[in-house]
Amino acid sequence: MTHPAPASSVEPAARRDLADAPFLVAARGGLPSRVPVWFMRQAGRSLPEYRELRAGTRMLQACFEPDLVREITLQPVRRHGVDAAILFSDIVVPLRAAGIGLDIVPGTGPVVDHPVRTLADVEALPVLDAEQVDPVADAVRLLVADLGDTPLIGFTGAPFTLASYLVEGGPSRNHERTKALMYADPGTWHTLLDRLADTALTFLRAQVAAGVDAVQVFDSWAGALSTRDYREFVLPHSAKVLGGLADAGVPRIHFGVGTGALLGSMREAGADVVGVDWRTPLDEAVRRVEAETDRGDVVVQGNLDPATLFAGDDVVRREATRIVDEGRAAAGHVFNLGHGVLPDTDPDVLTRLVAHLHTLTPGR
Ligand code: CP3
């Protein structure tokens, strides 16, 4: 007797042939046919159609409903004509899937039931099994079937940023409990980050197997660390995640906020594309990364200050053009914001920004 195959054993989607997609060409350091652009948090509260669809469904519930994930991911692609889609999900999705008690509280962010502070807490922490994110993989398969020639970006939180939520119990300004654990009990710290690296890598591999065309590792809060501490306490674990995808054949983007002093180290961790926030001009970022890593040909992503989108179209166009010009110092440039779209952003400003970028000439 045969049984219908569960969704998890559906064949991995055949990777689409997107060799000419501007986003992928630029991410690989080639010359794209136009300036590629996508926006961190392009899906979400800036879009009325998102707010309507999400009404009555909790964020983390939505992330496990493949049809909803599919539709929310497609919304900004349809509306803005961006050059890539990013999977609608959250960095805490793999933690919740693994069985860790947490929720996303509107207006606050991820909140953890039992903060992780001791070796016993760390050892009790479940590590993700790939089947636990089957709904996410299903959403990816639906999306690659729908997206035509638009690439799909998968993502994960990096071990440090995930650890910060788990140790603090929620969002934190100074990350003091996280750093206290790191400094006072390095053994427990490294055990925690190693487990989170395994979870992050399993989450990304599941997305790649289901068909995403690129991945981004968000180490949003790594900018809280000195270069020295980043290299000792964080880099080896992020390298496990990025290095674990070296043979996957998809570009790997590595992004954090306030990471001007870490950009070289973040590339060294295994990034093909270095994400830059708005504080460091892209040409300066390229100089720093190339000097720190003794390698040329860095590809960068960024870096319009999301607050600029409130200053009127003339300012937006001027700043966007400046950033494209600064990006010519790099082997490749993917235009993005320096952090996520702010919820009150007028989405029409984003649509007009994409149209403006597509009139510019890419390349060095
Ligand atoms: O970029 C995209 O369009 C894809 C979607 C995406 C979300 N979260 C959806 C989301 C991505 C890439 C993330 C990653 C994420 N989540 C990060 C790293 C990126 C970054 O911003 O630095 C972080 C730190 C989180 C944790 C998190 N989740 C925060 C801080 C919040 C906001 C809480 C709030 O209400 O202010 C969330 C919730 C969240 N994740 C929302 C969305 C669209 C808002 C939830 C809602 O619509 O109610």
pLDDT at 153 > cutoff 50 = yes
Q: Is there an atom of ligand 1 within 6 Å of 159 CB?
A: no
Ligand 1: atom nearest CA of 45 is: 47
Ligand 1: atom nearest CA of 40 is: 1
- Closest CA to ligand 1's atom 42: 44
User: From ligand 1's centre to the CA of 340, what distance in Å?
Assistant: 8
The pLDDT, as a whole number, for residue 13 is 53
Rounded mean pLDDT, 267-295? 97
Q: Is there an atom of ligand 1 within 6 Å of 44 CB?
A: yes
pLDDT band at 14 (very low <50, low <70, confident <90, very high): low
Percent of the chain with pLDDT over 70: 96
CA distance 202 to 95: 11
pLDDT at 322 > cutoff 60 = yes
User: From ligand 1's centre to the CA of 309, what distance in Å?
Assistant: 19
The pLDDT, as a whole number, for residue 364 is 86
Indicate if the alpha-carbon torsion angle 337, 339, 345, 347 is positive or negative: positive
Domains defined along the chain, listed by start: 22-357 (3.20.20.210)
Average pLDDT, the chain: 95
Rounded mean pLDDT, 20-26? 98
Between 102 and 1, residue with greater pLDDT: 102
The pLDDT tens digits of the residues spanning 238-272 come to 999 999 999 999 999 999 999 999 999 999 999 99
User: From ligand 1's centre to the CA of 293, what distance in Å?
Assistant: 31
When mean pLDDT is compared across 4-18, 104-118, 271-285, the lowest value belongs to 4-18
* Cis peptide bond N-terminal to 303, omega within 30: yes
pLDDT at 2 > cutoff 80 = no
CA distance 289 to 301: 13
pLDDT band at 10 (very low <50, low <70, confident <90, very high): very low
CA distance 297 to 141: 33
Rounded mean pLDDT, 169-176? 96
Number of H helices, E strands in the chain: 16, 9
Active-site annotation, residues: 41, 45, 54, 90, 165
Global confidence as pTM: 0.95
The pLDDT, as a whole number, for residue 148 is 94
